[in-house]
Chains A and B, each alone.
Chain A
């Protein structure tokens, strides 16, 4: 074993002072950021009334409410039937909204995709309008559509459709931009027009991706559809909000339970279909 040469710590320290600091620059910056975040958190919690004593009293009441929710009970069969029908209506709203949004978003997505639309202005405008649609919450869209077509599930389906056009438009255009350019170039070089290039060069490639995104959103839209009833746009949300407001807590938990099961079922079905469409390599959502 070779003899170790004694380490001259002092010289090392002199040459590389930064490595001997317990708190180097990066660590200091991280700590400062964490401290600032913590101060802001405490300030915000104070500002929002977390320390007014309401929190503790509320926790007690929350435990009480949770106790009263068990066991889930629809009260009688008539109520259970009404809730089941409302749940079916919710799923119908989600399905219609998702499919209609997918159909309407497709042309916009092509306009917003860089590799299809060379025109800068068109692309910019279609992107900005998609962004604006996405920034408005689905409940606001529901309220607007209630003003147009009246209370009921139809307004809900239209609201989901409108909100999803923004989301699908963005996701679809990203999928289209990620498509391989070679098939399109091949078609164009063989004399096909731009439209033929899109039809036979891009659509076959991106269609499975788009279909899987649509299926993925069907599940999350079922969740959205279950709350738009709160503003009168149909579905089970109306009954849910009513049950909570009138403190029918066992009914409340029954309805929540129904929604959970329905969402889990749809999640299972849609992920099976997704795997069938794109194979087991996951979704690029």
Chain B
């Protein structure tokens, strides 16, 4: 049978094929080596994390049964047969949920303001001084690396139990996270307007206001909205350490085995979070669309 593709003579083909085989073999070795490293790391960590498969196998049946139990009322019937009984605490939970949203809002707005002020000092292209830039960058790093709940625990001691501690923890984390993102936005701007304004004899703040800000505003708002989604999730658990919001009731329900309450609160949180996600992503897409039109 004659092939439409002309084959090379064997003498020429052999080294090419050998080369291909060798390359495939070396890649295989490479992959195997990586897998071996990962396996060793996993084995070591399994020892440290007290992983025991027998324990998991023995108890795994409790996971689905726990989830199923969450959706049963005290009398053993499924929750959706009796909505008033399932959501018996609705007015209280809605109030707490409202408080959670307000906490997320205040935390996000104050955090955005803080990050907005800091980002111009942290961006490599416009920062007025190198040392200030390094200090601001480190500060943001620490703010976002220490988990929010740790800040909340400390603030609860200083400010007492309640939402103030939770909000401040969210503010600090938001400043750290957004300070970095905002600074990156500023680093990506077109420098010509800023140079033009500086060349016209204006001071640094004026150059930032009229040269840098108009280019960055829509990105700032978009990142801020994204952060609001994240903060709604994190304020929902601030109550775990007594820092306000619906988390307090949730952890109490889990700890005291009020199963149907747990599912009711979780359902409320999940609905709220997904509604917020929908709304903010809609707004963000409109903002990005606006930006592209200009």
Contact = CB atoms under 8 A, between A and B. Distances in A.
A154 B106 contact: no
Contacts of A106: none
B288 interface: no
A93 interface: yes
B244 interface: yes
Q: Is the interface of A mostly helix, strand, loop or mixed?
A: helix
Contact of A234 (B49, B255, B266): B49
Interface in A227-268: 227, 230-231, 234, 240-241, 244-245, 247, 252, 256, 259-260, 263-264
B188 interface: no
B81 interface: no
B63 to A, nearest CB: 5
B60 interface: yes
Contacts, number: 161
Interface string B258-294: 0000000010011001100000000000000000000
A131 interface: yes
Nearest to A85: B48
A80 interface: no
Contacts of A154: 49-52, 55-56
Interface residues of A, number: 62
Interface in B37-87: 38, 41-42, 44-52, 55-56, 59-60, 62-63, 66-67
A226 to B, nearest CB: 6
A48 B251 contact: no
Given A44-B103, A48-B99, A260-B145, 7 more contacts: A58-B164, A65-B154, A132-B270, A136-B270, A137-B237, A227-B147, A252-B154
28 contacts: A41-B109, A48-B163, A49-B162, A55-B159, A59-B158, A62-B159, A93-B45, A95-B42, A96-B42, A96-B46, A96-B49, A135-B269, A136-B269, A139-B240, A140-B237, A148-B60, A148-B62, A149-B55, A154-B52, A154-B55, A158-B56, A227-B147, A240-B153, A244-B150, A252-B154, A256-B150, A260-B146, A263-B145
Interface of B: 38, 41-42, 44-52, 55-56, 59-60, 62-63, 66-67, 99, 102-103, 105-106, 109-110, 142, 145-147, 149-150, 153-155, 157-160, 162-164, 167, 233-234, 236-237, 240-241, 244, 250-251, 254-255, 266, 269-270, 273-274
